[in-house]
Amino acid sequence: MSTSDEGYVHTEVPTSLKQLSRLVVRGFYSIEDSLIIDMLVRNPCMKEDDICELLKFERKMLRARISTLKNDKIIQTRLRMETGLDGKAQKVNYYFINYQTFVNIVKYKLDVMRKRMEMEERDATSRSSFKCPRCLKTFTDLEVRLSFHYFKRVLLSSCSK
């Protein structure tokens, strides 16, 4: 693609993004969720009825699973008015994966996980590390330093008298 193709719209999703979406959902969501994502990876945009029919899910269960995925911004919805078989207008939900949003969500969640791990590591290193053999009370490094200085002052003041 040259620099003159600024208006270029990507119509094909890279295989690596498809694989990432499948792996993330398989790792952190239910089997039903991963089946829905598999369908949306194969078919970029699908009707709710088609997903129900292909996966043999009850509509109520499908909507519950889709609600979870939508809340986490893994999939998105487009509502369209269509004419049904009876000639009446009806609302139809279409579902798709917005891969740009998906990548941003994954980056955000990885950053949150990294921060949480760093915080847990920091907390683990600053935990009480000294224990009194008499009363079994535990003390942090700072508490030991402060009490040591306090006892040192008490001893020095008592010795000088």
pLDDT in tens, 80-120: 998 888 888 999 999 999 999 999 999 999 999 999 999 98
Domain total of the chain: 1
**When comparing pLDDT for 12 and 155, which is higher?**
12
- Kindly indicate the confidence band of residue 37, based on its pLDDT and cuts at 50, 70 and 90: very high
Element (H, E) at 77: strand 76-83
Are 71 and 120 in contact by the 8 Å Cβ rule? The answer is no
**When comparing pLDDT for 4 and 43, which is higher?**
43
In a domain? residue 152? no
In a domain? residue 93? yes
> What average pLDDT does the segment 147-154 reach?
59
Q: What range defines the domain where residue 85 resides? A: 15-97
In a domain? residue 138? no
In a domain? residue 57? yes
Starting at the earlier edge strand, list the strands of the sheet with 76-83.
Answer: 45-47, 89-96, 76-83
Q: What is the pLDDT of residue 116?
A: 95
Note the pTM of the prediction, 2 decimals: 0.68
